[in-house]
Amino acid sequence: MTSTVRTRFAPSPTGELHLGNLRIAVFNFLLARRHAGAFVVRVEDTDRERNRPGAEERIFEDLAWAGLHWDEGPDRGGPFGPYRQSEREGIHHEKAIELLERGAAYRCSCSEAELDSGRTATRDSPGCPGGCRDRADVAGAAPEGGVDGFAIRFAVPDRVISVKDEVRGDISFHGRDIGDFVILRSDGRATYNFAVVADDVAMEISHVIRGAGHLSNTPKQALLFDALLGRRPHFAHLPTVLGKDGGKLSKRTGAPGVELLRREGFHPDGVVNYLSLLGWSPGDDREVLTREELIREIDLARAGASDTVFDPEKLRWVSSQHIAGMSTEKLAEAVEPYLDRSRFPLEGVELVRAVEAIRTRLTTFGEVNEHLTLVFPEARALASAREELMREEGAGELLAAVRDSLAGLSGWSADSAGEAVRSAGKVIGVRGAGLFHPVRLALSGSRSGPDLGKVLEAIGRDRTLELLDEALARVRAGA
């Protein structure tokens, strides 16, 4: 293993990426970037029955959306490929033979029936019931042609073994409690723990960062690293993320899949930021950090071990804060894919002005349409607002004064148009809600909405005057 930091994210293509998985990818990505190392994606697809067609591609899409760009992976290759575990069976085989030759593993000739009868309470580590470890006829190196028909077991030492965890400190366990576990099944397939370690060794992974759910795999994996490599990577087990009900994070407890967040238009930096706070903190009370800040400051030494709770409201808030930090031009670009053009055929500077009017209300890019209706209302909303205006005392005089004041403007900006409305109010002695509500009703079909000056700038002079004229006509017709 080199001194370069190499982290890996190892998803299984069995379904969609959920937030818990993405959090693991976030930590691996940030740590690799912090140390100018490599972030590797290895697809663990050996459980063929559970693999879903298209799932791998969707995982890549989700990672790319989150901006977690990987340096090596099945789609882009790299010096340690292949990056799909199912394509690495030869390497697993080689490593198993290596262990056999060194006497760290042995062939187990027990039949399935024997194995079944010997199964102990710890189902994952039954050990060998037939005493194969001590039988010369099966011990030692495999004959030419491999290990066909035999399972290969790892010979677990009978002593206390300690593993250092970057988050949890030292974890100790006794070899006796593990039992000699199978690393290669009799059909030649590697078991989960062995495939993972064989691949981590071959890919020179320096940091294994994953969820606390993997703690139970760690003793076996540490032993395998010792035997294959003579040393171990840094292990870091991040705290479990719980749903608000205290149960495991799931869709049922309000955890959206990554695809849903993408569809709704959460700010990807906000999502990455929020997920980084599930188990880590920058050491002060900051909660909104840019990607650059996260890369600079991420530190496993400040990761906590206690369970953490997913809070969808907080996620939304962090997303809104990242949106607030964008320039309006960038924000306009970001909302464009979500824009319902059939309702809001806005282009270029028109879109930028419209976004400027509503930007403080956005928590996601996808909310753009909902808020634009307050700038560009539907005809039905305008019609009913005009009915309302008809019944409002003095609305005609007020709208006429505002119209004249706006029509007399030489330029047209949020400031000048807003000021023109206020000065018209002064002339006729109306201000506050009495002034703004009728104007808003005439323009937006609603009494409340974004800053009036910005709305005026967004809809433009011609449309503003047209709307005021139409409202006036209705009010006068009803008078």
Select from 333, 436, 334 the least CA-distant residue to 392: 436
- Amino acid type, 131: G
Q: Which is nearer to Zn ion, 116 or 397 (CB)?
A: 116
Q: Residue 98 in contact with residue 228, Cβ under 8 Å?
A: yes
Minimum CB separation of residue 258 from Zn ion in Å reads: 43
Minimum CB separation of residue 126 from Zn ion in Å reads: 10
Select from 26, 22, 56 the least CA-distant residue to 256: 22
Our finding on whether 99 is near Zn ion (CB under 5 A) is: no
Collapsed DSSP state (helix, strand, coil) of residue 297: helix
User: Applying CB under 5 A, which part among 129-137, 226-234, 333-341, 424-432 lies near Zn ion?
Assistant: 129-137
- As a whole number of angstroms, the distance between CA 69 and CA 30 comes to 10
Our finding on whether 118 is near Zn ion (CB under 5 A) is: no
- Amino acid type, 136: A
Our finding on whether 179 is near Zn ion (CB under 5 A) is: no
Give yes or no: 248 in active site: no
Binding-site member from 30, 63, 100, 108 for Zn ion (CB under 5 A): 108
Our finding on whether 130 is near Zn ion (CB under 5 A) is: yes
Q: Which is nearer to Zn ion, 108 or 197 (CB)?
A: 108
Q: Which is nearer to Zn ion, 178 or 459 (CB)?
A: 178
User: Applying CB under 5 A, which part among 13-21, 125-133, 220-228, 248-256 lies near Zn ion?
Assistant: 125-133
Tokens of 42: 């290895």
Q: Residue 207 in contact with residue 234, Cβ under 8 Å?
A: yes
Binding-site member from 128, 318, 421, 424 for Zn ion (CB under 5 A): 128
Our finding on whether 272 is near Zn ion (CB under 5 A) is: no
Our finding on whether 335 is near Zn ion (CB under 5 A) is: no
Minimum CB separation of residue 135 from Zn ion in Å reads: 8
Select from 178, 326, 185, 323 the least CA-distant residue to 264: 323
In 122-190, which ranges are E strands?
151-154, 160-165, 169-174, 182-184
Our finding on whether 132 is near Zn ion (CB under 5 A) is: yes
Residue with tokens 């974004």: 450
Per annotation, catalytic residue among 95, 248, 251, 314: 251
Minimum CB separation of residue 183 from Zn ion in Å reads: 13
Please state the separation of Cα 102 from the chain's center in Å. 43
User: So which residues are the catalytic ones?
Assistant: 251
Q: Which residues bind Zn ion (CB under 5 A)?
A: 108, 110, 128, 130, 132
